[in-house]
Structure 1
Amino acid sequence: MVLELLTGTGLAASAGLNAYIPLLVTGLLARYTSVIDLPGGWQWLGNEWVLGILAVLLAVEVVADKVPVVDHVNDVVQTVVRPTAGGLAFGAGSAADTVTVSDPDSFFASTGQWLPVLVGVLIALGVHLLKSAARPVINATTAGFGAPVASTAEDATSVLMSLVAIILPVLVLAFLVGFVLFLPWFLRRRADRRRERRAAREAGFRV
């Protein structure tokens, strides 16, 4: 059960950064390799039409997320899309045979598809909210020049996380540890930023 949970968690977290990458990676690997074998209810992810649509949506997302202001609008729209994708990714990944999981635990199978999907939604939503909160800070402190850099790093992380979740899910633990360490630092940085802006306003500066 642990490896299935890590696989699903890694894919859902990846969806929190980019909704389409984990679904596309899962679908491509399922269709063209033996790395992952999706169960009957999830084999539609390997359909060529689904893969084509995901590729187009990914292209739009990659461009939109790298433009200041547009990236904020995109994040608002993705508040629904990324958690949904995370639920699908967790559901498919946790129920699939992979190179490290030859017989998915019956726990997820016995609960039906909705529980793993719900878990994936919550994981992806958490990552998405952190990403959405961090982007305005990055844009403000870099005059917008940090948006494409941050977005590219997020996309690369999403690809890497998707592959790791399927091929070597134990490494997902490293991401979870990093997330736990990063969150307090980010919250402190955000609080400091607010205090600086408040102090600047009180001093008569326009911010």
Structure 2
Amino acid sequence: MEIIDAIALMLGAAWASGINLYAAVLVLGYMGSTGYTTLPPALEVLQDPLVMGIAALMYFVEFVADKTPGVDSGWDAIHTFIRIPAGAMIAAGAAGGLDMNQAAEFGALLLGGSVAATSHFTKAGSRLVINTSPEPVTNWTASVTEDIAVVGGLWTALNYPVLFIAALILFILLAIWLLPKIWRAIKRIAAKIRGWFKNKEAPEPESAPGNEEIARRLESKSADEP
């Protein structure tokens, strides 16, 4: 495997894993098992029918969860601890095709984890903001777009590595610009939710007595005086 091909596979697998790990594993395993591409030795395990079967099952579960508003954000929160480490490991396995030393493979592990984290947090943050919309169409559209992007991105990485690397650089620059805005939007949403709970918990203030009530109190007080 040429250097540019291995780098594109390493970065593409990490990026795709951060968005939809099970789709990435399934696509790579399918392409490797059908002979469409030759995976590095460390990634040949993805071609195993058992691995592909589990990936297909989990992809179906994610397909449903990812298109359900609210459930998708919970799913993303759990997969923060799955997608990023898995993306790092797959990237390190892809880098094994370059016959690098252990230090370089560890660097590939760190780079893959960083790329997977970038794509994961961009997806999870944007979906959390999208979930504030009451209609589900935007959520479904975003989910389907992500699925298509994973398949298309991996295909591009394997067939047009230079184009994919250039597109990935643009994506990272966009994420650097977008993530702070997403974070501020999430903070505003969290503040609004806290405000709702505070308003529900706060006791209603006692209404001030009206003019007639004040007059009655004064008359009662005057009658009691000698």
**Partners of 1:153 and 1:23 in 2: CA distance:** 18
Aligned to 1:19: 21
How far 1:123 moved relative to its partner?
A: 1.5
TM-score, normalization by structure 2: 0.73
Alignment of 1:53-64 (within 5 A): 53-64=54-65
Alignment of 1:13-162 (within 5 A): 13-39=15-41, 41-96=42-97, 104=98, 106=99, 108-111=100-103, 113-141=105-133, 143-162=135-154
**Partners of 1:174 and 1:17 in 2: CA distance:** 16
| RMSD of aligned residue pairs (Cα, Å) | 2.8
Q: Deviations over 1:34-65 (max 9, x none)?
A: 422321x3321111111111111111111111
**Partners of 1:12 and 1:144 in 2: CA distance:** 29
- Summarize the Cα distance change of 1:112–1:31 in structure 2 as closer, same or farther, 3 Å threshold: farther
Structure 1, unmatched stretches of 5+, are 97-103
The structure, 1 or 2, with the larger RCO (C-alpha pairs under 8 Å, 6+ apart) is 1
- Summarize the Cα distance change of 1:196–1:88 in structure 2 as closer, same or farther, 3 Å threshold: closer
- Summarize the Cα distance change of 1:5–1:38 in structure 2 as closer, same or farther, 3 Å threshold: closer
How far 1:167 moved relative to its partner?
A: 2.2
1:180 is aligned to 2:151:
no
**Partners of 2:177 and 2:105 in 1: CA distance:** 33
- Summarize the Cα distance change of 1:197–1:50 in structure 2 as closer, same or farther, 3 Å threshold: closer
How far 1:193 moved relative to its partner?
A: 7.7
Contact 2:122-2:175 within 8 A present in 1 as well = no
**Partners of 1:25 and 1:197 in 2: CA distance:** 37
Aligned to 2:162: 170
| Residues paired across the two proteins, number | 192
How far 1:67 moved relative to its partner?
A: 0.3
Contact 1:27-1:45 within 8 A present in 2 as well = yes
Aligned to 1:5: 7
Structure number with bigger Rg: 2
TM-score, normalization by structure 1: 0.78
Identity %: 26
